[in-house]
């Protein structure tokens, strides 16, 4: 059963009621973030799709025209299709709305999903995201969001991620933005920050 996208589902053991939606970065696949998800929320169900777009053979969730430049029409189409997958997957596997854990391109599509289809996600951990769409978000009142940015990230401009945080806050999201002393790649501090954020959620 693909539900429209190749994916991996880990049912969890019932000890953690909120599932995670795992969204990989460029070149990843449905297996990429499973160890991270298991580390962040032991026992939680994990739903992990593979991005349907290929860039030089590397899966992504939407195309880019150049580094940091996107086609907004294509971004919207791919984002809404992913939202449909998430809703269908939650029905199929009997899950409540998940918290997204996205890295890079996966973080970007999680953010655009929150803007374009509020209610699909119960929250999001966005690791190295950037501003992709400037659409006014729908109702994100009190939706929890953690953004973790790299202080020396050569890919994501500081003003881009600051603008993203402001955009999500304008829809009412409860955004916590943290910086770590690294570039675009993930480090152990990301895991520590995300784990603590999940534990502290009401």
Please give the Cα distance from 81 to 112 (Å, whole number): 12
Please give the Cα distance from 177 to 142 (Å, whole number): 15
Given this model, what pLDDT does residue 2 score? 65
Please give the Cα distance from 82 to 87 (Å, whole number): 9
Domain boundaries, given as residue ranges, for the chain: 7-200
Given this model, what pLDDT does residue 68 score? 77
Of the residues 24, 104, 149, 190, which is catalytic?
104
| pTM to 2 decimal places | 0.96
Given this model, what pLDDT does residue 202 score? 60
Average pLDDT across each block of 10 residues of the chain; the chain has 202 residues. List them in order.
Answer: 87 90 97 97 96 94 85 95 97 96 98 96 98 92 97 96 97 97 96 94 68
User: Is 149 annotated in the active site?
Assistant: no
Residue 54: other Cβ atoms inside 10 A: 11
The pair of structure tokens assigned to 64 is: 């880019």
Given this model, what pLDDT does residue 69 score? 83
Cβ-based burial of 183 (10 A; exposed 0-12, middle 13-18, buried ≥19) = middle
Of the residues 24, 32, 48, 153, which is catalytic?
153
The pair of structure tokens assigned to 75 is: 């971004």
The pair of structure tokens assigned to 142 is: 């009190």
The pair of structure tokens assigned to 93 is: 């596997």
DSSP 111: H
Given this model, what pLDDT does residue 65 score? 81
Given this model, what pLDDT does residue 201 score? 75
Q: Which CATH number fits domain 7-200: 3.40.50.300, 3.40.50.1820, 3.40.50.620, 3.40.50.720?
A: 3.40.50.1820
Of the residues 84, 177, 184, 195, which is catalytic?
184
Question: What are the Cα distances from residue 42, in Å, to 19, 93, 104, 139, 167?
Answer: 10, 18, 23, 30, 31
User: Is 153 annotated in the active site?
Assistant: yes
Backbone angles phi, psi at 149, to 5 degrees: -115, 150
């Amino acid at each position: 059963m693909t539900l429209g996208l190749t994916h991996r589902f880990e049912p969890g053991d019932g000890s953690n009621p909120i599932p995670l939606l795992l969204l990989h970065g460029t070149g990843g696949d449905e297996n990429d973030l499973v160890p991270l998800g298991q580390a962040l929320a032991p026992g939680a169900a994990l739903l992990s799709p593979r991005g349907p777009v290929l860039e030089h053979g590397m899966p992504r969730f939407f195309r880019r025209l150049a580094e940091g430049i996107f086609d907004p029409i294509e971004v919207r189409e791919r984002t809404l299709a992913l939202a449909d997958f998430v809703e269908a997957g939650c029905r199929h596997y009997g899950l409540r709305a998940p918290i997204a854990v996205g890295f890079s391109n996966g973080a970007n599509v999680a953010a655009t999903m929150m803007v374009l289809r509020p209610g699909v996600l119960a929250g999001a951990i966005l690791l190295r995201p950037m501003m992709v769409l400037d659409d006014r978000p729908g109702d994100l009142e009190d939706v929890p969001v953690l953004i973790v940015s790299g202080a020396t990230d050569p890919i994501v401009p500081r003003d881009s991620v600051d603008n993203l945080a402001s955009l999500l806050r304008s829809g009412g999201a409860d955004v916590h933005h943290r910086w770590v002393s690294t570039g675009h790649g993930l480090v152990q501090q990301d895991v520590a920050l995300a784990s603590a954020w999940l534990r502290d959620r009401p």
